[in-house]
C-alpha cells in the first residue's frame, strides 16, 4: 500500500511540475540571450536575432524612451544607454518580441 501511495505522490509531483513549466513558457522570449550580451549588440543585430525589421525596432526604441540623439540601426545599445536613457535589455527584448508576435 505504501508503494502505491509513494507512486501516486511521485506522479502528482511530476504532473504539477509539468503544468507549472507550461505556464512559465508564456513569459519567455523566443530568443534566449543574457542582458549583458544584449548591451553589446547593435540594433541591427538584435533585430536579426528576432528576425524583425531593424528600422521598426529603432523607431520603437526612440519613441518609447523619447530619445533625442541621432541613432541608426548600427548603434550599439550600450551607447544609447550611456548617452541618454538607462533602459534595461529586458525592455528591448520585450519590444522585439512584441514586433515579432505582431508579424510586422
Whether 77 and 41 have beta carbons less than 8 Å apart is answered as: yes
Q: Which residues lie across from 42 on neighbouring strands?
A: 76
Sign (positive/negative) of CA torsion 61, 64, 65, 66? positive
The predicted pLDDT at position 32 comes to 87
Show me where the domains of the chain are located: 32-102
Mean pLDDT by groups of 10 residues along the chain of 104 residues: 59 52 50 91 97 97 96 97 93 95 82
Query: How far apart, in Å, are the Cα atoms of 45 and each of 1, 23, 70?
Result: 59, 29, 18
The predicted pLDDT at position 30 comes to 78
The predicted pLDDT at position 5 comes to 58
Angle at CA of residue 86, ends 82 and 71, nearest 5°: 55
Q: Answer whether 0.85 is exceeded by the pTM.
A: no
Cα–Cα distance for residue pair 96/48, rounded to 1 Å: 10
The predicted pLDDT at position 10 comes to 63
Cα–Cα distance for residue pair 51/31, rounded to 1 Å: 10
Amino acid at each position: 500500500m505504501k508503494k502505491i501511495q509513494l507512486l501516486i505522490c511521485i506522479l502528482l509531483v511530476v504532473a504539477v511540475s509539468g503544468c507549472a513549466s507550461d505556464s512559465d513558457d508564456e513569459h519567455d522570449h523566443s530568443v534566449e540571450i543574457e542582458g549583458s550580451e544584449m548591451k553589446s549588440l547593435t540594433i541591427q543585430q538584435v533585430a536579426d536575432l528576432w528576425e524583425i525589421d531593424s528600422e521598426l525596432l529603432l523607431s520603437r526604441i526612440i519613441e518609447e524612451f523619447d530619445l533625442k540623439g541621432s541613432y541608426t540601426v548600427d548603434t550599439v545599445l550600450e551607447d544609447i544607454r550611456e548617452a541618454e536613457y538607462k533602459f534595461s535589455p529586458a525592455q528591448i527584448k520585450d519590444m522585439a518580441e512584441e514586433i515579432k508576435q505582431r508579424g510586422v
